[in-house]
Amino acid sequence: MVASEVRALFAVASRPEVVSLAGGMPNVSALPMGELGEIVQRVVTEEGSTALQYGSAQGDPVLRERICEVMAEEGISAAADDVIVTVGSQQALDLVTRVFVDPGDVVLCEAPTYVTAVNTFAAFQADIRHVAMDDDGVLPEALEEHLTRLAAEGRRAKFFYTIPNFHNPAGVTLTAERRRRVLEVCRRHGLLVLEDNPYGLLRYGGEPVAPLRAEAPDQVIYLGSFSKTLSPGFRIGWALAPSAVRAKLVLAAESAMLSHSAFNQMVVRRYLATHPWRERIKDFNEMYRERRDAMLGALEAMMPAGSSWTRPEGGFFVWATLPEGLDAKAMLPRAVNARVAYVPGTGFYASDEGRRNMRLSFCYPTPEQIREGVRRLVGVIEGETAL
């Protein structure tokens, strides 16, 4: 296990004079704080004897019903029995890896991919292989190539990990047509898909695309989370898995943590029952759209020739590529001196790729701060090209 570059950055990036385009923190100040306070109080006074007791490792059955309603928003039909609540979707990543991966097993994931997933796979000594992507998401033919090569070596991958919507860090979305092809390739090779979808409901442009799980229930383990649509502070996510897998995940969860926080689950389930959460997500999407537009507008106006970036239809992230010859990791200390922070692209690969790349988050700073952040960043990039 190695320290994540993102975590190490948080200390620096949180200094008030730095515009942080680094962290992927949702803007929790937009939450209905007064109402959440009342919910917390009611859970204690009206349901305290359950809320303050041990719960189960699979999670509160009422919350699991509500989670099915949340997934239905994206076209997934599922039974509460097949859902396991997890400590954020991060714990689901850990449990799935714990259940499936032995040291040396191959795990396929996108290039780049979510940094903490890489760290989890690495902690279980997986052999991590990156599959190329473009602006439409992962390339099915590249996935096929990996699988054919592995078969020729007499090896099989344990699963293919994908973030199809508003990818972290790439910002792109896997098209419907590619989803079908990815599922077809995986079906032919008998490969399980691990679909990580914490941002799916945060769409503020383009047309929704059905999750892979909606098309192929038996082929996919699906991960969801309340971290971006409500709050990461509750640490509640979930996995939806074929029942044999789900039973193993529950056993793994029991040994990892005995039981969930019944209290946190009851607060969230009450919020989902009493608050117009769908409307609230629409409000969040307005806010995030304004921030995304501020970032794309600033990049368009200021970035030097030779650079490029993705144009997300939702979520929190833009993935930028610097002009040839520049190194985003080496540049970071100079950027922090200029009071702007980002995450260098190298952190999102198990290999040494991503030197010219950086992840820029627009979820947390205000539109004015984003424009100022990009202005500072461009100043640093121009300084590098002049070196």
Q: How far is the CB of 30 from ligand PMP (least distance, A)?
A: 17
Least distance between ligand PMP and beta carbon 374 (Å): 22
Question: Cβ of residue 235: shortest distance to ligand PMP, in angstroms?
Answer: 7
CA 101 to each of CA 93, 105, 134: distance values in angstroms, whole numbers, following the listed order = 11, 6, 28
Closest to 108 (Cα-Cα) out of 194, 46, 22: 194
198 token code pair:
């914490």
* 144 vs 199 by CB, closer to ligand PMP: 199
Nearer to ligand PMP, 342 or 378 (CB): 342
Contacts of residue 325, defined as CB under 8 A and 6 or more positions apart, other chains included, come to: none
Binding site residues, ligand PMP, CB under 6 A: 24, 88-90, 114, 163, 168, 196, 198, 225, 227, 232, 237
Nearer residue to ligand PMP within complex by CB, 237 or 354: 237
Per DSSP, helices labelled H in the chain are 5-13, 33-51, 61-72, 88-100, 115-123, 140-152, 176-188, 212-215, 243-257, 262-274, 277-302, 328-337, 367-386
> Whole-number minimum distance, CB 226 to ligand PMP, in Å?
7
As a whole number of angstroms, the distance between CA 230 and CA 265 comes to: 13
- C-alpha to C-alpha distances, 62 to 81, 126, 306, 385, nearest whole angstrom: 11, 35, 53, 57
Nearest residue (CB) to ligand PMP, 4 versus 369 = 4
| Inter-residue contact 34 to 17 (CB < 8 Å) | no
CB 200 → ligand PMP: shortest distance, Å? 11
Nearer to ligand PMP, 24 or 314 (CB): 24
Q: Shortest Cβ distance from residue 306 to ligand PMP (Å)?
A: 29
Distances (CA, A) of 198 to 189, 211, 224, 283: 27, 12, 5, 17
Measured CA to CA, the distance from residue 18 to residue 239 in angstroms comes to 36
Nearer to ligand PMP, 36 or 109 (CB): 109
Which is nearer to ligand PMP, 25 or 44 (by Cβ)? 25
Q: Read off the tokens for 206.
A: 């383009």
Q: How far is the CB of 296 from ligand PMP (least distance, A)?
A: 20
Q: Is 261 in a helix, a strand, or coil?
A: strand
Residue 113 C-beta: closest distance to ligand PMP, Å: 8
Q: Which is nearer to ligand PMP, 7 or 156 (CB)?
A: 7
Whose structure tokens read 């200021």?
A: 302
- Closest-approach residue to ligand PMP (CB): 88
